Structure formats: C-alpha cells, structure tokens
C-alpha cells in the first residue's frame, strides 16, 4: 500500500505519517515547511520526505507516483493567517487542491481523501451538526472566511472532479482536534501561554487571571489527536466512498468548563475576564458523528482526558522554555 500525504509536516499530517509508518505502509510526505515541519517525521521507516509546494503543479508531477491513497491535508491554517494573508490562504487552498486533483486523475489514484473543516458550517442552525447542513460564508469581506471559503470550494472541486471516474473520494471535516504540538494559536495553547507568562512574572502567584474572547458560554467539542488518526484510518479503509464525514466528538463543552478542567489539571486557581468575541467566531460547535458510529468507531480518550493531556504537554513545554 503506497500513500501520499500532503501537509505532512503539520499537526494532523505528521501524526498521520507516524501512524502509517508504524503500520508498515510506504508513505511519501509532501510539505514545503511554510507552517509545518518535516523534522517531526524525519527518520521514520518507510517514509520519504519531499519538499513540495502544492501550488507548483510541475513539482507535484515530478514526485508523483501511482498511489493507492492520496491524503490532501496541505493548507494555511491559523486565525492570524486568515486575517493577515487571506490571498495566500485561498491560493494554497484552491490552486493546491486543483493541482492535486488533476495529477491524481492523470495517475488514476484509487482513492482521494480531502481535509475540509468544521469552519464550513459557521454558526449552523442544527447542533449537533450533520454533514447535510448548509455551508455558508456570512460575510465575503471578512478575511477570516478565506479559509472556510477555500474548504467549501475545495469540497466542490473534489465532488465534481471525481464524478464518473474510477477514483473514489472521501471528504472529512475535523472538529477541534487537540494534542501535543498542535500549534500555538488554538484555544488551549493560548490559555496555557497566558498562564505561563503570569507565573514567570510571579512564581508565587495564587490566583491567575486571564482574558478570554466571548462570555465563556461558547462551546467546542474536542477530540484527541490519537483518536482522530484512528478514526480517519478506519474511515479510509471502510466501505464508505464518495462521502463527506464529520470527525470529532459530540460531547459539547463550554469554554468556562474547559478552564475548570485546566485549573484542576494544573492545580492552580484560574479566574477569567470577558472581552468581545472575534468577529465571525462561531458560538457553538458540535458535530453529529453518526457516520463514525456506523463503522463502530469509539474514542479511547474522554473530552476531559484529552484536555488534560494537551494542557499538561503545553504547560511542560512553556516551563522548559523559561
């Protein structure tokens, strides 16, 4: 079994590479190290690392082979990137996806798996949200939606490009996947960083006060990276084809409850102050995961344990960085 993974140096990509390496698959890993880091997966058995920019179709073709499965994960993620580099977000998302699709069709790849995002739902009318809820861009002038726009169009490219071909496709929409080395712009690393900075200023601090965006009643549904990789692998080799599937946890948790878990985990007292939420940030996010249940997938880590493991890793990271 020969697999291509684009965006292989990223959080999800690198964990997927490690998973398939352990399963003795032959893996070709594409990344141009713009945001990801191929060093994460250097030296793994059966893994070949190649510096490729997915917007360069000639470079893709040069290193392409007849793969059994292509996992197309390459994207420019991160809220600050959405606001600061929306054109680049769109170029990588749209041109990169178009290029991978065209080359996959040329080489008659057996299966094409595309990483979409829960961002495509924005503020859905139905919670938990299934895969058939309408997708929307509420304000085309808000650069935050450059990413979700690239994913919505990317889904359309996948569905229509592989229509009436011998290549099966799968589109997955991940929901708040967390774990070590997930980056520093997401909610848990951001909270831990604020706590660590306060401790650095006053090592005997009894009460930590941090600012959060919104009221604290906003919700997310967290899934640990190990469970996510297992879910994606099981989906990839299931009988499901030409489908769109949510991957996540349907256990919804408020941000203020998240803070309590972090507080108990780190054995510190955390209070928070409220600020206006970021314009465009969804109030609630919780996926309907019935399709995962149909293939008998169950997470091994509870939401609480997932948060604990992630919080401990980042706390230790910042402590060592002092």
For 110-127, the pLDDT digits (tens) are: 999 999 999 999 999 999
Sorted by sequence, the CB contacts under 8 Å of residue 178 that are 6+ apart come out as 186, 188, 222, 223, 224, 225, 306, 307, 310
The tens digit of pLDDT for each residue in 24-51 reads 999 999 999 887 778 889 999 999 999 9
- Give the three-class secondary structure for 247: strand
What is the rounded CA–CA span in Å between residue 118 and residue 287?
8
**DSSP characters for 3-51?**
EEEETTTSHHHHHHHHHHHHTT-EEEEEE-SSSS-GGGGTT-TTEEEEE
Task: Average the pLDDT over 224-246 and give the result.
Answer: 97
**Mind listing the domains of the chain with CATH numbers?**
2-174 (3.40.50.720), 187-220+252-286+300-320 (3.90.25.10)
Answer yes or no: is pLDDT of 212 > 90. Answer: no
Average pLDDT value for the chain: 94
pLDDT at 189 over 80: yes
Q: SS3 for 187?
A: helix
Q: What pTM value is reported for the model?
A: 0.94
Q: Which residues of 39-64 are buried (b: 16+ CB within 10 A; e: fewer)?
A: ebbeebeebebbebbbbebebbeeeb
What is the DSSP annotation of 61-129?
A: HHH----SEEEE------HHHHHH-HHHHHIIIIIHHHHHHHHHHHTT-SEEEEE--GGGGSS-SSSSB
First to last CA, the chain: 44
Angle at 52 (CA atoms; ends 51, 55), nearest 5 degrees? 155
Which pLDDT does position 94 carry in this prediction?
98
* Token pair recorded at residue 273: 């102050």
Backbone dihedral angles phi then psi of residue 14, each to the nearest 5 degrees: -65, -35
CB 268 within 8 A of CB 202: no
pLDDT tens sequence across 127-137:
999 999 999 99
User: What does residue 169 show for φ and ψ, rounded to 5 degrees?
Assistant: -130, 160
Of the candidates 189, 192, 223, 224, the one whose C-alpha atom is nearest the C-alpha of residue 208 is 192
Tokens of 65: 């082979």
Residue-wise pLDDT for 45-87, tens only, equals 999 999 999 999 999 999 999 999 999 999 998 888 999 999 9
- Residue appearing with tokens 């998240």: 258
Q: Which residue has the tokens 């990413």?
A: 147
Which residues face 281 on adjacent strands? none
* Integer CA distances (angstroms), 190 to 84, 103, 147, 194, in order: 19, 38, 20, 6
What is the rounded CA–CA span in Å between residue 301 and residue 212?
26
pLDDT at 288 (0 to 100): 97
Cα 313 off chain centre by: 18
Q: What is the pLDDT of residue 47?
A: 97
Contacts of 133 (CB under 8 A, 6+ apart): 121, 124, 125, 126
Cα separations in angstroms, 291 against 1, 226, 243, 244: 25, 19, 10, 9
């Amino acid at each position: 079994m020969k697999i291509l993974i684009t965006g292989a140096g990223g959080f999800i990509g690198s964990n997927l590479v490690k998973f398939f390496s352990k399963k003795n698959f032959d893996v070709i890993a594409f990344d141009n190290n713009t945001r990801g880091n191929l060093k994460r997966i250097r030296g793994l058995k059966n893994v070949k690392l190649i510096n490729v920019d997915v917007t360069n179709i000639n470079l893709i073709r040069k290193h392409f082979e007849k793969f059994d499965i292509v996992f197309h994960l390459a994207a420019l993620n991160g809220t600050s990137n959405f606001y600061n580099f929306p054109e680049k977000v769109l170029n990588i998302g749209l041109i990169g996806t178009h290029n991978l699709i065209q080359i996959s069709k040329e080489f008659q790849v057996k299966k094409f798996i595309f990483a979409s995002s829960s961002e495509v739902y924005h503020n859905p009318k139905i919670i938990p949200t299934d895969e058939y809820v309408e997708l929307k861009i509420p304000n085309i002038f808000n650069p935050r939606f450059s990413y979700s726009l690239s994913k919505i169009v990317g889904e359309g490219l996948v569905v229509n490009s592989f229509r009436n071909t011998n290549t099966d496709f799968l589109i997955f929409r991940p929901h708040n996947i967390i774990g070590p080395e997930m980056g520093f712009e997401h909610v848990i690393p951001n909270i831990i960083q604020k706590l660590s900075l306060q401790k650095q200023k006053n090592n005997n601090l009894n009460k930590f006060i941090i600012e959060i965006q919104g009221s604290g009643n906003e919700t997310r549904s967290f899934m640990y990276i190990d469970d996510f990789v297992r879910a994606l692998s099981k989906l990839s080799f299931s009988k499901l084809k030409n489908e769109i599937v949510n991957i996540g946890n349907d256990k919804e948790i408020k941000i203020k409850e998240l803070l309590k878990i972090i507080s108990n985990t780190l054995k510190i007292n955390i209070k928070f102050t409220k600020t206006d939420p970021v314009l465009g940030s969804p109030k609630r996010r919780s996926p309907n995961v019935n399709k995962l249940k149909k293939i008998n997938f169950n997470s091994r880590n509870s939401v609480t344990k997932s948060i604990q493991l992630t919080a401990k890793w980042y706390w230790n990271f910042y402590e060592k960085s002092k």
